[in-house]
Structure 1
Amino acid sequence: MIDAALIHQCADPQIEIAIVERFIAEAGSDNPLSVTITSGDRIILPQVPQNADDAVRLIRRFAGQATVRVGLTQYPAGYGVSDAAQISVDLVDACQNIRMGSALFGKVYRIVAHARGEAGSSVFREALNAWRSGMFQDDYVFGLADPGPLSGEENVSMYPPEAIVDAEPDSTTLAPEQNHDPHAAGIRVDLSPLKDQGEP
């Protein structure tokens, strides 16, 4: 369990603390030195880092060759880095990782909220899916521009954890391999005019 005081101290100020706590609880790790490496559907299980230097060496080894997520927020190690040599121990410093991860998740949330024209629990869930996959509407979500706060809002507007409920993912968040049956679509034709014509 991550110390709540650490989150309060280090979280990006544009995001509600309760949301950062929920974000880390659902998408993060309890270990600041956590390095998760995936390549396609494969999970690579290297030796667990024993210190920050070990973690940085491991991140540099796989960055650019696989998807590498790091630290308490499972921050995407390759984001904003053109050379693996630029990767520093900041990624595995608990406070820095929370600061960077919460700021980047805030941007992802705003991207989703602007696309949906709303804020709230369903947007949080979709933003969490985008954070995990790195994709939103077929784009690399971390590389998209931050659209800024929603109209009339000073901060990222999210509901507290108790208002966020698990929901079935929207069709835009389904994995690409999940094809939809076109014959299963609901009928959207208004037949009321036909009914009126048939009446005497």
Structure 2
Amino acid sequence: MLDAILIKECADPSLKPAIVEQFVDAVGSPDPLAISVKSGGRLLLVPKAKTADEAMEIIRQNVGHSVVRVGLTQFPAGVGAKDASELKPDLVEPCANLRMGTAMFAKILRIVTKWYGSPQSEEVFPQIFDDAVYAWKTGEFEGESVFQAEDPGGVVTEQPSSVVQRDAQTRADQPGEPAASAQSKVQDAGIRIDLSRIGGQH
């Protein structure tokens, strides 16, 4: 659970606080020093960093030949950097990581929103959000690298001010059929198994 003050002071202002929280829940880590390293689609085990310096050392060792995600937002380390020496310790500083991560995610949301034809309805937002989260995790949307892509500008589709419910959850919350009607359907079903061969000739 992200601190409301951290969101207010550090997150990209174009995203509503509920969306920032949902984004970090979906892709992030509660540990500001968390590092995940993937190579060839496989997650590599790296030592757990105890300090920002240790974290930066692990990041520098792996950036360039692996996909390295860092901090609260699991920001892709090395995006836009020509060399590992350009990486700054603010990658693992909670406020800076949240600022960079939410600014990048807002850009991805704008890319996805534009692809959808820039709808202005709140109902479309959950689908756009899910696609943007998927793009964040994979680094691609419609075959384009989202982290390097140009920001199309414009606004993100109308964001609900409360956290968006997933479709599956919504369906799960809807009451099922009452037991009585389910029971009567069973009785009305009739026999479905062909029993005519039983007791026939051997």
What is the TM-score normalised by the length of structure 2?
A: 0.76
Are residue 95 (structure 1) and residue 82 (structure 2) matched? no
- Residue matched to 1:77: 77
Equivalent-residue separation in structure 2 for 1:156 and 1:93 (angstroms): 29
**Which structure 1 segments of 5+ residues have no match?**
168-200
Describe the superposition over 1:152-174 as per-residue Cα deviations: whole angstroms up to 9, x where unpaired: xxx6632244434246xxxxxxx
> Does the 8 Å CA contact 2:29/2:74 hold for their aligned counterparts?
yes
- Residue matched to 1:182: none
After superposition, the Cα gap between the structure-2 partners of 1:88 and 1:166, relative to the gap in structure 1 and judged at 3 Å, is farther
Residue type of the partner of 1:7?
I
Which structure 2 residues correspond to residues 103-114 of structure 1 after superposition, within 5 A? 103-114=103-114
> Does the 8 Å CA contact 2:11/2:99 hold for their aligned counterparts?
yes
Equivalent-residue separation in structure 2 for 1:77 and 1:156 (angstroms): 27
- Residue matched to 1:25: 25
After superposition, the Cα gap between the structure-2 partners of 1:107 and 1:164, relative to the gap in structure 1 and judged at 3 Å, is farther
> Does the 8 Å CA contact 2:19/2:163 hold for their aligned counterparts?
no
- Residue matched to 1:43: 43
Are residue 125 (structure 1) and residue 130 (structure 2) matched? yes
> Does the 8 Å CA contact 1:22/1:161 hold for their aligned counterparts?
no
- Residue matched to 2:68: 68
> Does the 8 Å CA contact 2:113/2:157 hold for their aligned counterparts?
no
What is the TM-score normalised by the length of structure 1?
A: 0.77
- Residue matched to 2:166: 165
> Does the 8 Å CA contact 1:125/1:166 hold for their aligned counterparts?
no
Equivalent-residue separation in structure 2 for 1:161 and 1:137 (angstroms): 28
> Does the 8 Å CA contact 2:109/2:129 hold for their aligned counterparts?
yes
**How large is the RMSD of aligned CA atoms in angstroms?**
1.5
SS of 1:142's partner is coil
Residue type of the partner of 2:160?
Y
Residue type of the partner of 2:154?
P
Offset at residue 7 of structure 1 (A):
1.4
**Which structure 2 segments of 5+ residues have no match?**
169-202
Equivalent-residue separation in structure 2 for 1:114 and 1:61 (angstroms): 37
1:144 to 132, 146, 149: 149
After superposition, the Cα gap between the structure-2 partners of 1:13 and 1:162, relative to the gap in structure 1 and judged at 3 Å, is closer
After superposition, the Cα gap between the structure-2 partners of 1:2 and 1:131, relative to the gap in structure 1 and judged at 3 Å, is same
Describe the superposition over 1:102-149 as per-residue Cα deviations: whole angstroms up to 9, x where unpaired: 000000000000001125110000000000000111111111111111
After superposition, the Cα gap between the structure-2 partners of 1:25 and 1:87, relative to the gap in structure 1 and judged at 3 Å, is same
- Residue matched to 1:170: none
> Does the 8 Å CA contact 1:149/1:156 hold for their aligned counterparts?
no
After superposition, the Cα gap between the structure-2 partners of 1:166 and 1:55, relative to the gap in structure 1 and judged at 3 Å, is farther
Equivalent-residue separation in structure 2 for 1:60 and 1:156 (angstroms): 36
Higher-Rg structure is: 2
Offset at residue 3 of structure 1 (A):
1.7
> Does the 8 Å CA contact 1:24/1:73 hold for their aligned counterparts?
yes
After superposition, the Cα gap between the structure-2 partners of 1:85 and 1:166, relative to the gap in structure 1 and judged at 3 Å, is farther
